[in-house]
Amino acid sequence: MRTMNVDELVAIDIHTHAETSTRLAPDEASKESLEARGRYFRYAVQHPTIAQMAAYYRERKMAFVVFTVDHERGMGIRNITNEEIAETAAEHADVAIPFASIDPARGKMGVREARRLIKDFGVKGFKFHPTVQAFFPNDHDAYPLYEAIAEAGLPAIFHTGQTGIGAGMPGGGGLRLKYSNPMYLDDVAADFPDLQIVMAHPSVPWQDEALSIATHKPNVWIDLSGWSPKYFEPKLVQYANTLLKHKVLFGTDNPVLSPDRWLADFEKIAIKPEVRPLIMKENAVRLLKLRPE
């Protein structure tokens, strides 16, 4: 069985998506959404399997966090299951780190599901997408789910800011950006001080809010996925180099943005040499507790 050697890794990609199942037939309902996303991000819609992703990252001596988004209710699209992600990641445990996704609208059943995935499948964290799942993160109906995650000592990643999902479709696919204002996570961070919260992406158009929350709340982090580094706002780079250098994480949003492209652009921005290893790997090692304390 493969095991992870953290010291041999050069980076940990905290944000990648599993889109292709080897167990389920493709869902035709997802075609329009995926094509729209491809046009928005200007990439060919070719989504690898988790095994193919593992081979890609292994070749580059990187690990990756992988998850889906539970958006069956919000978008009417069937996706790869949390169980398949966890089981396949376990086969590639030297590089793959499985997260789960549960729509908070699943209520008590969602809480039971979270506990089962933690206990029986060994998931290492959870992913939420407020825009796609159509909920405000500080809605108290979601709090029992956060409690289960916090009790297990696991982190939660929340999409923040603009999204390419639904972009260009009539009415943006019916999705509303308001749910992903990071300010709603300030309440969650205050109410769950032991829950490690990752604000995914530069939070356009709410970058200042995200930087403020991450500076104020010890349990809030920022991942840099979803945008080429050449488009990062100067203030984000400034904070990454200084106040938040221990709380900013390398992430790509692969397959939307490939690690090769992200890293090539990251080399060209003014990140201090001593900060780069923190962003690329060491901060994620602490967040994910990959080294014994």
Q: Which two tokens stand for residue 274?
A: 């001593």
Across the beta sheet with 126-128, what order do the strands follow?
126-128, 156-159, 197-200, 220-223, 248-249
**Mean of pLDDT over the chain:** 92
247 pLDDT band (50/70/90 cuts)?
very high
Determine what percent of the chain is predicted with pLDDT higher than 90. Answer: 80
The residue-averaged pLDDT of 277-290 equals 98
Please tell me the predicted confidence (pLDDT) of residue 39. Answer: 61
Please tell me the predicted confidence (pLDDT) of residue 169. Answer: 80
Please tell me the predicted confidence (pLDDT) of residue 20. Answer: 77
Alpha carbons 147 and 160: distance in angstroms, whole number: 21
Q: Are 253 and 225 in contact (CB under 8 A)?
A: yes
Q: CA 267: distance to chain centroid?
A: 22
Q: Is the pLDDT of residue 140 over 80?
A: yes
Torsion of CA 46, 13, 65, 147, to 10 degrees: -130
Fold of 6-288: TIM Barrel (3.20.20)
Q: Around 65, how many Cα atoms within 13 Å sit in the side-chain half-sphere?
A: 30
* 100-128 tens-digit pLDDT: 999 999 999 999 999 999 999 999 999 99
Q: Around 243, how many Cα atoms within 13 Å sit in the side-chain half-sphere?
A: 15
Q: Is the pLDDT of residue 166 over 80?
A: no
Alpha carbons 130 and 152: distance in angstroms, whole number: 22
* 62-88 tens-digit pLDDT: 999 999 999 766 555 668 899 999 999
The domains of the chain are located at 6-288
Q: Model's pTM, two decimal places?
A: 0.92
